[in-house]
Chains A and B, each alone.
Chain A
Amino acid sequence: MTRAKGERSLSGWAFLAPYAVAVVLLIAVPALLNVGYAFTDHTGLTRDPQFVGLDNVRRLADDAFLADSLEASLFHVALSVPLRLLAAVGLGLLLAAPRPGGRWFRTAVYLPTVVPDVALAVLFLWVLNPLYGPLNQLLGLFGHPGYTWLSDPTTARVGVVLMLLFPIGEGFVVVLAARRLLDGRLYEAAALEGCGPFGQLRRITLPLLAPVLVLLAVRDTILTLQVNFVPAYVLTDGRPANATLYLPVYIFDQAFEFSGFAYAALITILLMLITAAIIAVQLLAVRRWRVLR
């Protein structure tokens, strides 16, 4: 019997092997190569990078574009992650309960997620257009004159945040599924104790979902910091005045437009460190919050 079990577990690993090889070749090796390239003068055009020591690190210090880029990314994360999380969790909990037509409400919420990135960006160029765009017209209904969204640094950043509030489907589905796993009897007991819907939310739902919420927050921080490239690249391409030159956009520019491949590798490492730092702060805050309760 144990032999059969050992054989089965071995087969399990064999099934996992192709995926593991792909992870090593397509993720681990390139990630390590970043470290190697960061200390060379590689331009991405030739094949013989030379070791240049800390030259690229020195360049970081007086790169005004990098400072702009950092500011843009941090602004975006600070605004976008809480809003996206609030939307995904709020809508997930609102729409989880079975109701006639419930699936169609959920489908409507999920639909913007299946819109291809480029189409979403082009669509928002239209939505945010000061003259033709539906958003300014909507504001007009309330007597507001509207904004010149993408021409002004602050509103351009807000515009990108607004656009990325729509594709929240992944977190939304995870919340839907996690909510179904909670025991219904807990809610019945709470209701008997005279605990209203908000009390149930605060005392049962949110604490029990906490691990899922933390995972979603961490994942969304990473997505928001690093994967907002396509929409931002197509929507504003870093303009106006570098207000939306998020780090991934700057990395792309350096690596593939300015022949600064090695420098881009270094900024990639910097971005990873910043991401790790933000996540560490989040995890610490969660621990603190749990102790306080």
Chain B
Amino acid sequence: MAGRFVLPALVAALFAAPLWFMLTGSLRPAGLPPPRTLELWPPEATLDAYRRLPELMPLFRYLANSAMVAAVAVPLTVLTAALTGFGVRLLPPSARRKAVVALVVVLLVPVTAVWATRFEVFRLAGVTDTIVPLLAPALLAVSPFLVLLYAWSFGGVPDSQLQSARLEGAGWLTVWRRVALPQVRPATLAVAVLAFTFHWANFIDPLLYLHSGDRYTFPLALRFLLLLNPTDWPLLMAGCVIATLPCVVVFLLAQRVLLSDDPLAALRRGRP
């Protein structure tokens, strides 16, 4: 009993704790003196910080910018990952192994290695301060991890189905769209969710490429909020909650697949 539930519950509580403190921190009235002991719920909890936030900065503009980037980048990421993953599926086994190894190698390339010079490439192309550089990670499917996820899932589509659709005269793109994709809906859900959490949270690319304040995405705005009000904790925590909430909500949709008892089988199941 202890091993089966008590320890997992303690661990779960430990990992949920920072989010809890984020929420309660945002509900503290501004200017309250420091709590004397561990404060699990603030006295006189208030939503005041959430009211002040849009007065201090164009909150909805930033949120709209972030939503816009996500609306373009997430489908692009899913498309790239799904096409590439299907490509891996079509290869004969020996070539497939090589492709998987290549993807793992790309997984090991750090982003920092290409920051500065990638910036130079985009500067020479004259697209800094636009949404274009923010879409670059989407063209790379965010991470080879997402491609591998699709490659695994397409592995569950029987060869016979692919071949018979092909014999009926369908092109491979049609086979991909009509036969393969509908069988890996859980994978599509998982990839879309992971892509959303990446693009919504992306900080480095907007920091490097966006100069005009009216194009800032929300993570960038949160940092400027920190620079302007470094000690207004309820306000900052409210900003954190707003930044985090969409990711948490969206992730809760995917946990059924990614964190089920057998995630690898769940990915291949026809319906999420």
- Interface residues of chain A, those whose CB is within 8 Å of chain B, are 4-5, 8-9, 11-19, 22-23, 25-27, 29-31, 33-34, 37, 44, 47, 91, 94-95, 97-99, 102-112, 114-120, 122-127, 129, 131-132, 134, 137-138, 140-141, 166, 170, 173, 176-177, 180-181, 215, 218-219, 222-223, 225-227, 229-230, 234, 247-248, 251-252, 255-256, 261, 264-265, 268, 271-272, 275
Supposing A126-B25, A137-B38, A138-B38 touch, asked if A26 and B12 sit within 8 A by C-beta, the answer is no
Which one of B46-54, B55-63, B258-266 is at the interface? B258-266
Decide: B118 and A30 in contact? CB cutoff 8 A: yes
> Which residues of chain B (1-35) have a CB below 8 Å from chain A?
4-5, 7-9, 11-13, 15-19, 21-22, 25, 34-35
Q: Can you report 6 residue pairs joining A to B where beta carbons are below 8 Å apart?
A: A11-B90, A15-B176, A16-B99, A138-B38, A219-B107, A226-B111
> Which residues of chain B (77-116) have a CB below 8 Å from chain A?
80, 83-84, 86-92, 95, 99, 104, 106-116
Residues of B within 8 A of A11 (CB): 87, 90, 172
Residues of B within 8 A of A131 (CB): 34
How many CB-defined contacts (below 8 Å) exist between A and B?
284
- In the bound complex, what is the Cα–Cα distance between A123 and B12 (angstroms)? 18
Contact of B95 among A4, A12, A112 (CB under 8 A): A12
- In the complex, which residue of chain B has the Cβ closest to the Cβ of A108? B12
Residues of B within 8 A of A166 (CB): 15, 18
Decide: A170 and B226 in contact? CB cutoff 8 A: no
Contact of A256 among B124, B208, B233 (CB under 8 A): B208
Decide: B117 and A118 in contact? CB cutoff 8 A: no
Residues of A within 8 A of B255 (CB): 103, 106-107, 110
Residues of B within 8 A of A141 (CB): 37-38
Decide: A19 and B140 in contact? CB cutoff 8 A: yes
The smallest C-beta distance from B44 to any residue of chain A, in angstroms, reads: 16
- In the bound complex, what is the Cα–Cα distance between A109 and B95 (angstroms)? 36
B240 at the interface (CB under 8 A from A): yes
- In the complex, which residue of chain A has the Cβ closest to the Cβ of B219? A118
- In the complex, which residue of chain A has the Cβ closest to the Cβ of B252? A107
Decide: A116 and B203 in contact? CB cutoff 8 A: yes
B147 at the interface (CB under 8 A from A): yes
- Interface residues of chain B, those whose CB is within 8 Å of chain A, are 4-5, 7-9, 11-13, 15-19, 21-22, 25, 34-35, 37-39, 80, 83-84, 86-92, 95, 99, 104, 106-121, 124, 136, 139-141, 145, 147, 166, 172, 176, 197, 200-201, 203-204, 208, 219-220, 222-223, 226, 233, 236-237, 239-240, 243-244, 247-248, 250-252, 255-256, 258-265
Decide: B261 and A109 in contact? CB cutoff 8 A: no
The smallest C-beta distance from B241 to any residue of chain A, in angstroms, reads: 8
Decide: A126 and B236 in contact? CB cutoff 8 A: yes
Residues of B within 8 A of A12 (CB): 87-91, 95
- In the bound complex, what is the Cα–Cα distance between A122 and B140 (angstroms)? 29
- In the bound complex, what is the Cα–Cα distance between A5 and B166 (angstroms)? 12
Contact of B83 among A15, A27, A181, A256 (CB under 8 A): A15
**Binding site secondary structure of chain A:** helix
Decide: B247 and A115 in contact? CB cutoff 8 A: yes
- In the complex, which residue of chain B has the Cβ closest to the Cβ of A137? B38
The smallest C-beta distance from A221 to any residue of chain B, in angstroms, reads: 9
- In the bound complex, what is the Cα–Cα distance between A14 and B91 (angstroms)? 10
Residues of B within 8 A of A13 (CB): 87, 91
Residues of B within 8 A of A268 (CB): 112-113, 115-116
Residues of B within 8 A of A115 (CB): 18-19, 22, 201, 240, 244, 247-248
Contact of A34 among B35, B37, B89, B113 (CB under 8 A): B113
Residues of B within 8 A of A170 (CB): 145
Decide: B243 and A126 in contact? CB cutoff 8 A: no
Decide: A105 and B37 in contact? CB cutoff 8 A: no
- In the complex, which residue of chain B has the Cβ closest to the Cβ of A170? B145
Residues of B within 8 A of A248 (CB): 112
